[in-house]
Amino acid sequence: MGLKHLHYGWVVVIMAACIMAVHALAFYTFGIFLVPLTLTAEFNWERGALSGAFSIAMLLSGLFSILSGRLSDKYGPRILV
pLDDT digit string (tens) for the chain, length 81 residues: 566 777 888 888 999 999 999 989 988 888 888 888 777 777 787 888 888 988 999 899 999 999 999 999 999 988 887
Residue 21, Cβ neighbours under 10 Å: how many? 10
Measured CA to CA, the distance from residue 76 to residue 79 in angstroms comes to 6
69 by DSSP, 3-state: which?
helix
Q: What is the pLDDT of residue 78?
A: 85
pTM over cut 0.85: no
Give the pLDDT score at 27. 83
- Segments in the chain forming alpha helices (H): 8-28, 30-39, 47-75, 77-80
pLDDT of residue 50: 85
